[in-house]
Amino acid sequence: MALFSSVGEELFFRGVMQAHLGIAITSVLFGLLHGLPGTRFASWGACAIFAGLIFGFLHELSGGVLAPILAHFSINFVNLYRLTRA
């Protein structure tokens, strides 16, 4: 699950959207996908905006999607692991 979501989201957001909308707008959309304002997941969405910015800059610095995919996978893996142990 951690692998498929990180690959799919990074290919879409960094690989496709970022080239057309830029890092900031793509990161906000990424965050909204993860938690809408006014919901119980709003703080998760805010964190996802920050993560999206990092992923966006990793994409720009590395020139590809592998670096943001690996970063995204690491976060997803740790979070899913912790959820299964709670």
pLDDT digits (tens, 9 = 90+) for 49-61: 999 999 999 999 9
Q: Residue 62 pLDDT more than 80?
A: yes
Q: What is the pLDDT of residues 5-49, one digit of tens each?
A: 999 999 999 999 999 999 999 999 999 999 988 888 899 999 999
pTM, two decimal places: 0.92
Closest by CA position to 44, among listed 56, 36, 55: 36
33 class by beta-carbon count within 10 Å (0-12 exposed, 13-18 middle, 19+ buried): middle
CA dist., res. 43 & res. 30, Å (int): 13
**How many domains is the chain partitioned into structurally?**
1
| Burial letters 2-17, b for 16+ CB under 10 A, else e | beeebeebbebbbbeb
- The domain of 9 spans 2-85
Q: In the prediction, which pLDDT does 28 show? A: 97
**Is residue 36 within 8 Å of residue 70, measured between CB atoms?**
no
